[in-house]
């Protein structure tokens, strides 16, 4: 029986039994593989690195969506960079205040293949009338658009290949320029125990670009090696400092179906281990 071995780290790896292959092809941008594993369900892999699985995707997508949207409290316009599987889009659309979502995905094949082979990720989100799909480079889109957004979600791959530019100071500056007053940028920043440079570099660049920034975390089983960090940046202090009482009130007023996110988890996720605080230069 076939086995897939992830190639993200040198000297450390995780393996998955491949029970069935749904899709495998070299796209215009990357190697794309979707297979079935008895423990994790359908698994998407890009360039040898696991991106998402059916069984635990809710942790990642709920936290990278609901933390900024409930922190803001009145989101109307959202920009998603990446996220071609559609799960981030699905979570954003749960918020009734959201008027429009623009998603910029560089690889059309990821969207088309996810609609066919990972339908539970999007659950029809691509067809919502509030959604505009742009196939193109996210950094280039930000440099050319004059639109402003209340929340920008950078649902990127790791800083290798097509995703590398989405971790640059220039990209973060473009995001800041396109945020509305009180707007929030959130980013995925890898498993900090095994990818310390990814978080440290983002913290350094956030410090150069934004007035207020922080990191929050979640444990995603597929992303092996410890907790995963997410960046949170704004020019307003209020989104980061919102109280659990306010979050509870917002959640009660606009309840969304979640399996991981709660207002209490939201606040607790910003409490980081000492070694992470030292790494990020906040202790």
User: Residues with catalytic annotation?
Assistant: 155
Sign of CA dihedral 70, 214, 8, 13: negative
Are the CB atoms for 247 and 267 separated by under 8 Å? Answer: yes
Please tell me whether residue 279 adopts helix, strand or coil conformation.
helix
The conformation of residue 264, written as its DSSP 8-state character, comes to: H
Are the CB atoms for 59 and 260 separated by under 8 Å? Answer: yes
Task: Match 């940046």 to its residue by tokens.
Answer: 233
Residue 83 CB burial class (10 angstroms; 0-12, 13-18, ≥19):
buried
Cα–Cα distance, 52 to 181 (Å, whole number) = 32
Q: Give the pairing of strands 49-53 and 3-5.
A: unpaired
Please tell me whether residue 10 adopts helix, strand or coil conformation.
coil
Phi, psi of 51 (to 5 degrees): -100, -40
Task: Render 187-200 in DSSP notation, one character per residue.
Answer: EEEEETTT-HHHHH
Cα–Cα distance, 61 to 151 (Å, whole number) = 15
């Amino acid at each position: 029986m076939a086995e897939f071995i992830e190639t993200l780290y040198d000297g450390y790896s995780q393996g998955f039994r491949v029970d069935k292959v749904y899709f495998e092809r070299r796209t215009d941008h990357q190697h794309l593989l979707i297979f079935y594993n008895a423990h994790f369900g359908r698994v998407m892999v890009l360039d040898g690195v696991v991106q998402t699985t059916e069984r635990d995707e809710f942790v990642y997508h709920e936290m990278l969506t609901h933390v900024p949207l409930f922190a803001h409290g009145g989101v109307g316009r959202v920009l998603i960079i990446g996220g071609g599987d559609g799960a981030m889009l699905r979570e954003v659309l749960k918020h009734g205040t959201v008027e429009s979502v623009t998603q910029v995905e560089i690889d059309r094949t990821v969207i088309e293949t996810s609609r066919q082979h990972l339908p539970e990720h999007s659950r029809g989100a691509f067809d919502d009338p509030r959604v505009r799909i742009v196939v193109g480079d996210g950094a280039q889109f930000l440099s050319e658009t004059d639109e402003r957004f209340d929340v920008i979600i950078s649902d990127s791959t790791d800083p290798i290949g097509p995703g590398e530019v989405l971790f640059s100071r220039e990209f973060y500056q473009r995001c800041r320029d396109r945020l509305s007053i009180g707007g929030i940028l959130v980013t995925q920043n890898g498993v900090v125990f095994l990818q310390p440079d990814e978080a440290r570099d983002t913290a350094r660049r956030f410090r150069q670009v934004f007035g207020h920034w922080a990191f929050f975390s979640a444990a995603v089983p597929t992303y092996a090696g410890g907790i995963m960090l997410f960046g949170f940046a704004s020019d307003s202090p209020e989104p980061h400092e919102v109280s659990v009482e306010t979050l509870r009130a917002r959640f009660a007023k606009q309840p969304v179906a979640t399996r991981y996110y709660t207002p209490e988890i939201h606040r607790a996720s910003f409490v980081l281990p000492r070694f992470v605080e030292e790494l990020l230069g906040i202790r």
